[in-house]
Structure 1
Amino acid sequence: MAFEYTSFASGSSGNCYMVRTDNTAILVDAGIAGKHITAGLEQLDMVPADINGIVLTHEHTDHVKSVRMMGRKCTSAGVFGTKGTLDQIRDKLPENRAEAVGRSQDFVIGDVKVHAVPLSHDAADPVGYTFENGGRKLAIMTDTGCVTEEMYREIRDADSLVLEANHEVNILRVGPYPYPLKRRILSDRGHLSNMTCGDVLGRLLADRAGIGRDMPHVVLGHLSKQNNTPETAFLTVRNVLFEKDFYVGRDLTLKVAKRSEPMELMRV
């Protein structure tokens, strides 16, 4: 089996990803109903007992909704997150199987090297993660208002990347959200817009061209239900890249994760 991953759901209503190799399976967040996570695993001929680790990005409900249930069902899995995250959800964690990881720390789950990457989001101590196995690298980076230089260094050489494309700025600005919430989303501690996502990918592709890296596989994630659509996210990012002389299909593959159902299994 190759190094593989999928999204069971990715959006402002709930998030959960699964990363696996021949010997290791990892859940990234558990922000959807436990029955939906179990159903997603069943589609891959897996059961919760196959999971070796659950890694958490931050404590917001759309990322930790079912941590308690999955902690019970995934009997072989430790639960990993920063101290700031774990302190916020102590009542949800399985006894003796929760482990705090430091910002920018490497740790190992089975045969996968995991690296925690600090994000810029209004949570206690949020992180994204990179996963490495067999010389291949996957990065999952959502829920951040900007891409810091540390984040960029971690995603620049990823073979596969899940990157946030949360909102279309014009839709958000004229939409029904109260002004303070709009300011929060648009801030450096909020969420990445489609335009910013496209700009980051353009910079990444320019750098990769200079070092001869293979074409990356990119998945747009954590789309807002109110302020975005899959079609809008794809078109905005594609158009930003087109203006920089990069083309979907030639310079990268580009997909959009579904908000509330599994997407196809991706190979890193």
Structure 2
Amino acid sequence: MRFSVLASGSSGNAIYVESGGRSFLVDAGLSGRKMETLFQAIGKNMRDLDGVLVTHEHSDHIKGLGIIARKYGLPIYANEKTWSAMDGLVGAIPTDQRFHFDMETVKSFGSLDIESFAVSHDAADPMFYVFHESGRKLALITDTGYVSDRMKGIIKASDAFVFESNHDVGMLQMGRYPWSVKRRILSDVGHVSNEDAAVAMSEVLGDKPARMYLSHLSRDNNMKDLARMSVEQTLESKDIAIGEQIILFDTDANLPTELVDV
């Protein structure tokens, strides 16, 4: 199993995963042209994808979805409520490219199993995914106001995580956003802060070292160095050895991470 976080942040999100001879894109939150550039950067072509998995209908996750679906004839997978919420946002997608991926189910593509699970976010029916293949496990979890015990149980002991570390609470509280937006971000259907993310991370580690990608950083209320420092401090306070039990990686809004083996 190999993956790359193609882009992650307030301006757009997309993750590439390949395993067992199959390859998938999770979300397409950037323009079609930018998506093509990101694929070129990791030496891949969207024509070779087996499908696109949609997490929810917010623009930073579906901005380029309709364009690439029509251009490349890609199968698109989303749950029923997300399909309904996307109507009018992604343009016409042919019926034979529209597939339902229900919440809390597993779809198998050859030796690759993809598990969907619910998160707590202010979208129609938001869900993320865990990829399983040959004993390896990759968990994707962003866009959630908190990480419940149920979520932790689903993603626990993954070999790699793409984990939301959205904002620094102090920056958010002192920032320029109106209070209504701040309240939404801080709510149970908003986004996870650096510190809360780290607490959840400490509770989902298995017996082997895990790669942890800090993702979906707010453009206005976070910074890479600050997110990493906050996460490291919180993990160390829980006796988690950085670089041994957990290896942290940054993600970027415009540049893909290295395509790596899980």
Scaled to the shorter chain, the TM-score interval is: over 0.9
Alignment partner, residue 85 of structure 1: 82
TM-score by length of 2: 0.95
Describe the superposition over 1:167-196 as per-residue Cα deviations: whole angstroms up to 9, x where unpaired.
000000000100010000000000000000
Describe the superposition over 1:201-237 as per-residue Cα deviations: whole angstroms up to 9, x where unpaired.
12223xx3xxxx2111110100000000010110000
Alignment partner, residue 115 of structure 1: 115
Describe the superposition over 1:103-148 as per-residue Cα deviations: whole angstroms up to 9, x where unpaired.
1011123542111110000000000100111210101100000111
1:33 & 1:4 partners in 2: Cα distance? 24
Alignment partner, residue 70 of structure 2: 72
**Contact in 2 for aligned 1:52/1:110 (Cα 8 Å):** no
Moved more, 39-48 or 20-29: 39-48
Alignment partner, residue 244 of structure 2: 250
**Contact in 1 for aligned 2:224/2:250 (Cα 8 Å):** yes
Q: How many residue pairs are counted as aligned between the two chains?
A: 259
Alignment partner, residue 44 of structure 1: 42
Could you say if the C-alpha distance between residues 252 and 128 of structure 1 is closer, same or farther in structure 2, counting changes exceeding 3 Å?
same
Alignment partner, residue 155 of structure 2: 155
Q: How far did residue 22 of structure 1 move?
A: 5.3
SS at match of 2:13: strand
SS at match of 1:122: coil
Unaligned regions of 5+ residues in structure 1, if any? none
Instruction: Find 2:227's aligned residue among 223, 233, 236.
Output: 233
CA RMSD in angstroms, aligned pairs only:
1.3
2:110 & 2:97 partners in 1: Cα distance? 15
Describe the superposition over 1:19-53 as per-residue Cα deviations: whole angstroms up to 9, x where unpaired.
01251110000001111211222233322210001
SS at match of 2:95: coil
Q: How far did residue 70 of structure 1 move?
A: 1.2
1:216 & 1:196 partners in 2: Cα distance? 18
TM-score by length of 1: 0.93
Alignment partner, residue 170 of structure 1: 170
SS at match of 1:70: helix
Confirm whether residue 218 of structure 1 aligns to residue 212 of structure 2. Answer: yes
List 4+ stretches of structure 1 deviating above 4 A.
none
- Percent identity, aligned pairs only, is 34
**Contact in 2 for aligned 1:49/1:73 (Cα 8 Å):** no
**Contact in 2 for aligned 1:117/1:128 (Cα 8 Å):** yes
After TM superposition, the structure 1 = structure 2 runs for residues 200-215 of structure 1, keeping only pairs within 5 Å, are 200-205=200-205, 208=206, 213-215=207-209
Alignment partner, residue 254 of structure 2: 260
Alignment partner, residue 60 of structure 2: 62
Unaligned regions of 5+ residues in structure 2, if any? none
